[in-house]
Amino acid sequence: MSPFLAGVLQLLALIAALALAYRPLGDHMAKVYGSTKHLRVEKWIYKAVGANPSVEMRWPAYLRGVLAFSAVSVLFLYLLQRVQGSLPGSLGFASIDPDQAFNTAASFVSNTNWQSYYGEQAMGHVVQTGGLAVQNFVSAAVGMAVAVALVRGFARSRTGELGNFWADLVRGVVRILLPISVIGAIILVACGAIQNFAGIHEVGQFMGGTQQWNGGAVASQEVIKELGTNGGGYFNANSAHPFENPNAFTNLFEIFLILLIPFSLTRTFGRMVGSIRQGYAILGTMATIWVGFVLLMWAAEFGGHGPAFEVAGAAMEGKETRFGIGASSIFAVSTTLTSTGAVDSFHSSFTGLGGGITMLGMMLGEIAPGGVGSGLYGMLVMAMIAVFIAGLMVGRTPEYLGKKISTREIKFAACYILVTPALVLCFTAAAMALDTPANSMTNTGAHGFSEVLYAYTSGANNNGSAFAGLNADTQWFNTTIGLAMLLGRFLPMVFVLALAGSLAEQTPIPATAGTLRTEKPLFTGLLVGTILIITGLTYFPALALGPLAEGLS
C-alpha cells in the first residue's frame, strides 16, 4: 500500500470515529452543563473549596473565579517544582530553576504545556502526576467553562448571569474528562504504553552499550494531554516515544482524542441555544478548515523535489517511520489547529511550506476545531465578526442568534482577536533584535526566524508545540514565553466573558426576512473566508519573512 493511500484510509477512519462519537458526547456535555443536581463527590469538592455551586454569577464574578483559581494553580505548581529535590519519588532530580519553574507553571496552567526541559531528565513522579497531570485536567475544564459561559450568553436574555464557575469547573473534570481518560488510559496500556512508578534503570542497546530509562504514569498522562488538548509529553520525544505512542493504532487514537471534545462541543452549543443546525454550521466551518489543512500538508510533504525526496517517497526526514508521512501530517495539522502541542514528528524538519502550515494553523487562533473550550468560544467570536461584516455589506444592524451585535459587542470581539497577534509579533520582534535569543537559534536565515516566530506563536496561542530547532531553556525565552502564555490565555478570556455578559443582558430580536441565516452553508463559507482573511492580513508579512521565503527559495 502506498504511503498516500494509507494516509487517506487513516483520515477516513478518523472522520468515521469522530462522527460516531459526535452526537452522544455532545448531548452528554449539554446535559452536564445544564444540570441542577450535584453528585456526592462534587459536593465534597465544593465544601473543601468553600464554594456555593447554586449561586449564579455575573461575568465579573465568573472572571474572578477563573483568575483566582488559575493564579493559585500557578503558585502551587511553581512551588512544587522548586521543592522537587526534597520530595519522595523525585528520582534524584534536583529542584527546578526559578525561571524554568515559572515557565512550566505558566505553561501547564494556561493549557499550553510548552516544555523547555527534557521530561524524563527533569521531573520526578510527584511533579509529573501531582502537578502536571492535575493541571492537564483543570486547565482544560477552565477552557470548557468559559466556552459554556459564552454559550449561555447567547441562550439567556434579560439577565447578566452566566452560571457558576466552580460548578462548571468541577463538572467538566468529574463528569466529562475523568471518565473518558480512564477508558483511554486502559486502551493505551493495552496497546503498549507504560503505566508504573519505576525508577531509573539501564536498558541494553542493539549496537552495544546501555541507555538509562525511567518509568512513570505515562498512559494516564498521555490520554489527558490529548483529550484536554494540553500537549507536552512525559518524555522529550513526546508522542514519537514508543512508551507514549507505541504503534500506528495508538497514534490514530491519540489524534481522535485531540479532536473529540472540540468537535463535539459544537453539538453541545447547538443543544444549549436550541438550534442543532447552528451547531452544524460551526462544525462545518471547523471541519472545512481542518480537512483543507490536512490536504495542503500532504501536498507540501508528499510533493517535495530532489533525490532524497524521490528515494523516500516524501519528506521523511524528522518523521516517525512507524507512522509514515500521511499520519504524521494529520497529527501535525490536528495538534496545531487545536491548542494541544503534542507532536509525533519533528516540525522543524517539515518542508518550508509544511512548517508554514503548522504555524498558520496556530495563527488562525486554534479554532478549527481549536482547544477544548477555547476553540468554540474563539469560533463564536469569529462568527460575530463575520455577521458584522455581512451587516456592513447590506447596511443592516448585524444579529447573531437573536442578539444584536452593537458597538459594545464588536469592541470586545475586536480586542479578542487583536491580543494574540500583538503578543506574537511584539515578542518575536524583540527577540530578533537581541543577541542572546539569536544565539539560541540552531539555524540562520529564514528558517532561524521561523524557529523564533513559531515559539512565540505556540506560546501566545497556548499550543505548546515547538519547531525543536530552538534552545528555549534560557532566562529570556523562559520568561518571555511564560508571559506570552499567561497573557495569551487569560486576556482573551476577559473579553469573552465580558461579551457573554453583554449578550445575556439583551432582549432577543425575532428573526425577519432580512435576518442573515447563520445556519446555512452560505454563512459557513463567509465564516471560513473571514477567518482566513483576518489571519492572512495580520500575519502575512511575518510568514513572508520565514516559511514562505524558505519554501519558495
Report the alpha-carbon distance of residue 150 to residue 397 in Å, rounded: 21
Peptide bond into 179 cis (omega under 30): no
Report the alpha-carbon distance of residue 395 to residue 382 in Å, rounded: 20
Report the alpha-carbon distance of residue 194 to residue 142 in Å, rounded: 28
Report the alpha-carbon distance of residue 153 to residue 72 in Å, rounded: 27
Residue 400's closest CA among 503, 492, 501?
A: 503
Q: Which residues on adjacent β-strands are paired with residue 201?
A: 213
The burial class, CB within 10 Å (0-12 / 13-18 / 19+), for 34 is middle
- In the three-class reduction of DSSP (H, G, I as helix; E, B as strand; rest coil), residue 394 is classed as helix
> What is the separation of C-alpha 66 from the centre of its chain, rounded to a whole number of angstroms?
18
Report the alpha-carbon distance of residue 132 to residue 225 in Å, rounded: 10
Based on C-alpha coordinates, what's the Rg of the chain? 22
pLDDT per residue of the chain (553 residues) written in tens, 0 to 9 = 777 888 899 999 999 999 999 999 999 999 999 999 999 999 999 999 999 999 999 999 999 999 999 999 999 999 999 999 898 888 888 999 999 999 999 999 999 988 888 777 788 889 999 999 999 999 999 999 999 999 999 999 998 899 999 999 999 999 999 999 999 999 999 999 999 888 777 777 667 777 777 788 899 999 999 999 998 888 888 888 889 999 999 999 999 999 999 999 999 999 999 999 999 999 999 999 999 999 999 998 887 654 445 444 555 566 777 888 889 899 999 999 998 888 888 777 788 888 889 889 899 988 999 999 999 999 999 999 999 999 888 777 789 999 999 999 999 999 999 999 999 999 999 988 887 666 777 777 888 888 889 889 999 999 988 776 778 888 888 899 999 999 999 999 999 999 999 999 999 888 877 788 899 999 999 999 999 998 888 898 888 888 888 777 7
Q: Which residues on adjacent β-strands are paired with residue 489?
A: none
Q: Which residues on adjacent β-strands are paired with residue 161?
A: 58
- In the three-class reduction of DSSP (H, G, I as helix; E, B as strand; rest coil), residue 34 is classed as helix
93 near 84, Cβ under 8 Å?
Answer: yes
pLDDT reported for residue 451: 85
Query: In the structure grid, which three cell numbers stand for residue 89, read together?
Result: 519519588
pLDDT reported for residue 306: 46
Spell out the domain ranges in the chain: 377-552
Name residue, grid cell 530509562.
213
Name residue, grid cell 512551588.
79
Residue 424's closest CA among 459, 465, 450, 395?
A: 459
Report the alpha-carbon distance of residue 279 to residue 258 in Å, rounded: 19
Residue 334's closest CA among 377, 378, 287, 381?
A: 287
Name residue, grid cell 540552531.
442
Tell me the whole-structure pTM to 2 decimals.
Answer: 0.93
Report the alpha-carbon distance of residue 262 to residue 373 in Å, rounded: 7
- CA angle (424, 425, 429) in 5-degree steps: 120
Report the alpha-carbon distance of residue 366 to residue 420 in Å, rounded: 11
3-state helix, strand, coil in the chain (%, to 5): 65, 5, 30
